[in-house]
Structure 1
Amino acid sequence: MNTTLTVSKHSKLLRRYLLKHNRRFCTEPNPQPLTPPQDDEQRITQTVQHLLETPHQEWSSSQPLQSLLFSSPLPSLRSILKTTRSLPSYCQALNFFQHLRENSLSTNTQSLSHSLQALLELAGKEPDAASRLFELYQASKEWSVPLTVNAAALLIRYFGRLEMVDKSIVVFDEIDLSIKNTHIRNILIDVLLRDGRIDRALNVLDEMLQPVSQSPPNDVTGDIVFYGLTKRGRKGRNVSEEELIKLVLNLGKHSVFPRTNWLTQLVSSLCRNGKINQAWDVLHEQLKLGAPIESPTFNVLLTGLVRCGDVKRMNTVLAEMKESGVQPDVVTLGIVINQLCKLRRVDDAMEVFNKMGEETGIDGVSVEADIVILNTLINGLCKVGRQEEGLDLMEKTKSNKGLVHTVTYNCLIDGFCKVGEVEKGKELFEKMQQDGISPNAITVNTLVDGMCRHGRINSALEFFGDMKEKGVKGNAAAAYTTLITAFCNADNFCKAVDLFDEMVRSGCSADAIVYYSLISGLCRAGRMDDAGNVYSKMKVAGFHPDIVCYNSLISGFCKKKKVDQAYEIVKEMEETGVKPDTITFNTLIAHFCKAGNFTHAHRVMKKMVKEGLAPTVATYGALIHGYCINGKLDDARKIFNNMSSTSKVPPNTVVYNILIESLCKNNDVKAALSLMDEMKAKGVKPNTTTYNAMFKGLKENNLLEDAFILMDSMIEHGCSPDYITMEILTQWLSTVGESDKLKSFVQGHKVSTLTA
């Protein structure tokens, strides 16, 4: 490339340079000619002036220029660097470097090295920087011009920015060992991490961590490594938490510690992933090594310990904070109060809260409570049934503006509603509005839920209607869901459906829970047409039924003996990727057994096993019940015997009751009594239903003494008689003149030892 500049170009550049550099050498309007150089700055200025005034082809014949560059004393390395850097273009700087190389003594490589460094700086700013930098590096090797530390750093960094990372590695591998210091290695690690070459970067770091390393890591190393490995969206492979822990510990041995935010991030991640012991070890190893741990890191470890309920280690961390001179902040104390409330140690939490308000504070540190702590404490008081104390606490803190908030009132309203004091909750609702605190959707939903839970569904509906008229904004879907579920549970399906239609008309989006609740309720009530309509609307709304919803529909259709529609639901659920569970199969088996279609029942059971689902006690119970009600007692007993001997699913009380009741109805009372003895031997506890079935059988066969023995057994097992028990025994014993024994039985006394 022709780098010769015209005279006019030289003149323009010279004027611009002199305006920039010569002002500091004169204070008069018309400056005098430059004096002979007395220091570096003057020498640099004069050298640049001559270089710009003289065409570069004439530099060798310019006596003043040659004198400035090569006469004793020789210009300092700083002068050479600044002179090269001060030239207006890369081409001129290259010409100057070549002039130095051609006229310097072969032993004077340091001047050339510093000129090359400045030349690299200028090349890096050129549009074709990549090619120029690589050409210069190759040329420096040919000319035997060694790189300075800064020149090597420039090349490694520039090649990295230009996505020529392989060239950065080549430069690092080829430079002299003496200049591979910590600074150079830090730059290479940064370049490698940015390019996603994690393993190569960690290899360089491992060399720095060796005990005999001449370039150990410093704080900059730590910043580069931790930033590069924790940055979101970075390139390269994932780095495991175990690798990060190892890096933290190894760097810590060189007194290089991660910044607070990075250490906090690591400890928090370990706690979230259930590795609380590793989080504990990391923080304590850092403490041993003298790391300056701050409160945020302690706080995330405390939060992790809270989740585990590890109070002992929480106390240890708090003591270590004090020993380390780390003052607890409002977050720390919030964590402590929250944990104490969860453990129902509300008095201890109150003590911490009260100390926060004292002048001496906690351990001499004054921390002002915030709204989160106040609400946590009030919520804790409400959960242990101390709503009145929570209310008093709110009243005491009202003077501190900003502490009492909608959430505070919501905690109290919820607390009173849960213990049935709905009226007190409504009073608080009125009071919060008087205090200028606006209720939100949670306030309304809490009151609606409280009223519904305590059977005041119509009051809840009326209150919700008033709130809508007053324009209380928020998530009305939750209130609608609560009301719809409450009306379904009360078997008022007409009102539930009306509310659902109103919800849709009002533009309020129903969530999946609303649909599930309504479908389940309608199926229980046998209103399958309505359930089907809601089911269709749910699919149009974009919701997918879950297994519970599918099972409700299948059960509903089976109860209505619409088995074909039940199988359509089964087919649909399989097509959508929802696999039938044991409840699905048991529902179908129970339906076929009740209908006496045992061939289909066993076919369904075989499919159940094929799908990898083991038959449950409910499966066998359905088969036994089906055989019993269809008069096939021998088949029922055969399945029962298989359960007792070979099956991994032993019969429970319900299964025994089915067979005992069937035996009694068939006048085989002795076999039924034998089953009761078997229940006792196998540790299966009879219930009221068991005894009622036996009493009916014994009454039909007038086996009075056996009945007395069972009455004593019933008292011994603490099994309370119900109205059916009393009806059977009253009719029987009064007829045979044993009313006194009935009275003794009711009073809890044994009767089989009394005289007739």
Structure 2
Amino acid sequence: MNICVASFCKVQQLEKAEAVIIDGIRLGTLPDVVTYNTLVAAYCRFVDLDAGYLILNRMREAGIHPNVVTYNSLIAGASNHSLLSRCFDLFDEMIMLGIPPDVWSYNTLMHCFFKFKKYEEADKVFHDIIMSKLSPCSTTFNTMFNGLCKNGNANNALKLFRYYKQNGFVPQLITYNVLIDGLCKSGRLRAARWVLKELKESNLEPNASTYTTIMKYCFRSGQFDEGIEFFYEMKNKGYTYDAFSYCTVSSAFAKIGRLEEAHKCYELMIEKGIELDIVCYNILVNMYCIGGRLGEVYTLLYEIEQAGLKCDEYTHTTLIDGLCRAGNIDGALKHLRYMDTLGFDSNLVAYNCMVDRLCKAGYINKALKIFGTMDVRDSITYTSLVHNLCKERRFLTASKVLLACLNQGMKVFRSTQRVVVKGLRFAGLDSEARKLQSKIRLARILQ
């Protein structure tokens, strides 16, 4: 009965799970604490915390006492629904009922603190586990490392890792993967490589996730050759790639102009029987645009349609960018107007691309005209236009755009701000330069 209840709960068919319990009672098989704990976890996860908590009344009516697993599920449910105060209440209630918390109770509470960026409280929970009779498990350490990394404290995570490793902690593969990901996100690729080296020297083997993570961040930081080396190392070790890995590598090859190798990645992906999704097609569209093969792009759009997929805003934005690169500005503008009729939530990326490309092609007045028609703008819109106006030495217009950006509470790179101020002074517009500087200082204080 419990297996059936758990199976229905896993696939979110809670009514059928309840029906199984009713049938069980009719047949003389009474639910036990495991049955109800399964329901508590399912209701907390798929409905809400209150629905899970109501199961406790049914348990009492059946003469069954909740245990630590029951309350761990409730605390996890409160955490998942971002109810920090309820986590404390449930923890206190558990202790008042004489149910001693176990290591998983503390792990869940620690995860909740990290979720709400309460680092000191999370650290206190971590040390409470160590100072109590409970022994921290690998999940305790992984939760600590992951929480620190996700909240921008990868350095502290690495220090703690070194300390506890020297004091007997045996890291698992997931621990190394968490640290590598956190260090990469904080821009510490060198430290991430050292952790990868330690992993290779241990009795553990890096998996596809390890390589994909570090490879992705190598590409993002412009270290394409090193990223490609990790790709080939992963390939030589016989790891199975997923669509994300192939797309990441293909995109990297395309960015550095190695289009032939980019296409080979796609051919390999098709040979492996990996089904192309819209993300894969978007990268392929981008490769054709970079290579100036616009005729094949339209064939590809037809292929996307035949595959039952729908082009998204990035597909059309990539095509607009490709038309601009090829000098077909009128075609790009026409496609931008067509894109407005498709009903996307936002065409901001396409408009930003159009503004930037028009500026670079020397059509800055057209770019300003499109800028004026945009209902939604972001810091990229303003930064791109200000930067290009400065290149054209149109500092007064650039200062007006920059002021509009600051009034919207958005940020423009400080280097760009300095260029505008210096340009105004160079043009003899000292009064305008002082006004702009004053506005920039005020915006920094407010931010």
1:609 corresponds to which of 296, 302, 315: 302
Residue 657 (structure 1) aligned with residue 362 (structure 2)? no
- C-alpha displacement of 1:663: 3.8
Return the offset for 1:729: 6.4
Q: Which residue of 2 aligns with 1:506?
A: 202
Q: Which residue of 2 aligns with 1:456?
A: 153
In structure 1, runs of 5+ residues without a counterpart are 1-260, 300-328, 749-756
CA pair 540-423 structure 1, distance change in 2 beyond 3 A: farther
- 1:577 to 1:366, Cα distance in 2 relative to 1, 3 A: closer
Alignment of 1:213-224 (within 5 A): none
Q: Which amino acid aligns with 2:155?
A: N
Other-structure match for 1:375: 72
Q: State the 1:481 CA deviation.
A: 0.4
CA contact (8 A) 2:44 2:73 kept: no
C-alpha contact (below 8 Å) 2:9/2:42 kept by paired residues? no
Q: Work out the CA distance in 2 between the residues paired with 1:633 and 1:502.
A: 52
5 Å-filtered alignment, 1:50-69, equals none
Task: Name the TM-score, length of structure 1 as normaliser.
Answer: 0.47
Aligned residue number for residue 435 of structure 1:
132
2: distance between equivalents of 1:337 and 1:275? Answer: 13
Q: State which drifts further: 726-735 or 520-529.
A: 726-735
Change beyond 3 A, Cα 1:505–1:438: same
Match of 1:385 among 56, 64, 84: 84
- SS at structure 1 position matched to 2:279: helix
1:650 and 1:422, CA in 2 relative to 1: closer, same or farther beyond 3 A? closer
Mark the CA change 1:435 to 1:556 in structure 2 (over 3 Å): closer, same or farther. Answer: same
248, 251, 258: which one aligns with 1:552: 248
Change (3 A) 1:389 1:621: same
Q: Which residue of 1 aligns with 2:211?
A: 515
- Matched residue, 2:381: 690
Deviations 1:358-388 (A, max 9, x none): xxx956x654331212323444555522365
Query: What is the CA deviation profile of residues 59-96 of structure 1, one whole-angstrom value per residue up to 9, with x for unaligned ones?
Result: xxxxxxxxxxxxxxxxxxxxxxxxxxxxxxxxxxxxxx
Letter in 2 for 1:431: D
**Match for residue 531 of structure 1?**
227
Cα distance 1:458–1:362, how it changes in 2: closer, same or farther (>3 A)?
A: same
> Once the 2 structures are TM-superposed, how far is the Cα of residue 477 of structure 1 from its aligned partner?
0.8
| The one of 42, 48, 60 aligned to 1:343 | 48
Deviations 1:92-141 (A, max 9, x none): xxxxxxxxxxxxxxxxxxxxxxxxxxxxxxxxxxxxxxxxxxxxxxxxxx
Task: Report deviation, 1:496.
Answer: 1.9
CA deviations over 1:230-254 (Å, ceiling 9, x no partner): xxxxxxxxxxxxxxxxxxxxxxxxx
* Amino acid across the alignment from 1:506: S
Aligned-partner SS, 1:438: coil
Using a 3 Å threshold, how does the CA distance of structure 1 residues 391 and 677 change in structure 2: closer, same or farther?
same
- What secondary structure, in the 3-state scheme, does the structure 1 residue paired with 2:267 have? helix
State the match for 1:215 in structure 2: none
Give 1:452 deviation, angstroms. 1.6
Alignment CA distance shift 1:666-1:433 (3 Å)? closer
The 8 Å contact of residues 145 and 157 in structure 2, kept in 1 or not, is answered as yes
Q: Given the alignment of the two structures, is residue 485 of structure 1 paired with residue 145 of structure 2, yes or no?
A: no
1:590 touches 1:626 (CA, 8 Å); kept in 2?
Answer: yes
* CA drift at 1:702: 6.6
**Counterpart for residue 164 of structure 1:** none
Please list, as runs of the form range in 1=range in 2, the aligned pairs for 1:152-551 lying within 5 A after superposition: 261=1, 295-296=30-31, 331-332=35-36, 335-336=39-40, 339=43, 343-345=48-50, 349=53, 362=60, 366-380=63-77, 383-386=82-85, 389=89, 392=92, 396=96, 403-472=100-169, 476-551=172-247
Q: Give the distance between the partners of 1:498 and 1:745, measured in 2 at CA.
A: 41
Amino acid at match of 2:381: T
Q: Which amino acid aligns with 1:571?
A: E
- For the 8 Å contact 2:111–2:122, the answer to whether it is kept is yes
Q: Give secondary structure in 2 for the equivalent of 1:723.
A: coil
Q: 1:463 to 1:651 in 2, by over 3 A?
A: closer
Decide whether the 8 Å contact of 1:413 with 1:446 is kept in 2: yes
Assess, with a 3 A threshold, how the Cα gap between structure 1 residues 426 and 676 changes in structure 2: closer, same or farther: closer
Compute the displacement of 1:722 (Å): 2.3
Distance in 1 of aligned mates of 2:233 and 2:221: 19
What stretches of structure 2 of length at least 5 have no aligned partner? none
Residue 282 of structure 2: aligned partner: 586
Judge conservation of contact 1:523–1:555 (CA < 8 Å) in 2.
no
- After superposition, the Cα gap between the structure-2 partners of 1:524 and 1:689, relative to the gap in structure 1 and judged at 3 Å, is closer
**Alignment of 1:568 onto 2:268:** no
Q: SS of the residue aligned with 1:507? A: coil
* Kept after mapping to 2: 8 A contact 1:640/1:651: no
Are 1:409 and 1:432, in contact at CA under 8 Å, matched by a contact in 2?
Answer: yes
Cα deviation for residue 482 of structure 1 reads 0.4
1:530–1:697 Cα change, 3 Å: closer
Match of 1:436, as an amino acid? K
The 2-side partners of 1:576 and 1:672 are apart by 44
Which letter does structure 2 place at the counterpart of 1:657? Answer: N
Determine helix, strand or coil for the equivalent of 1:654. Answer: helix
**Structure 2 vs 1, CA of residues 688 and 481 (structure 1 numbering), >3 Å: closer, same or farther?**
closer
In structure 2, the CA distance between the partners of 1:265 and 1:530, relative to structure 1 (3 Å rule), is: closer
Cα gap change, 1:649/1:713 in structure 2, threshold over 3 Å: closer, same or farther? same
CA separation of 1:453/1:592 partners in 2, compared to 1, >3 Å: closer, same or farther? same
User: In the alignment, residue 295 of structure 2 is paired with which amino acid?
Assistant: H
| 1:332-365 deviation line (CA, Å, top 9, x unaligned) | 477458746973449x94x987x89xxxx956x6
Q: Deviations over 1:473-522 (max 9, x none)?
A: 5x611110001111222232232223223213211133332122122122
Q: Classify 1:337/1:460 alpha carbon distance in 2 versus 1 (closer, same or farther; 3 Å).
A: closer
Q: How does 1:703-718 map to 2 (within 5 A)?
A: none
How far the C-alpha of 1:444 sits from its partner, in A, is 1.3
Aligned to 2:429: 735
Aligned residues of 1:688 and 1:720 also touching (Cα < 8 A): no
**Structure showing greater relative contact order (alpha-carbon pairs closer than 8 Å, 6 or more residues apart):** 2
Q: Any residues of structure 2 matched to 1:64-79 within 5 Å, and which?
A: none
Supply the distance in 2 between the matched residues of 1:529 and 1:671 (Cα, whole angstroms): 38
Identity within the alignment, %: 22
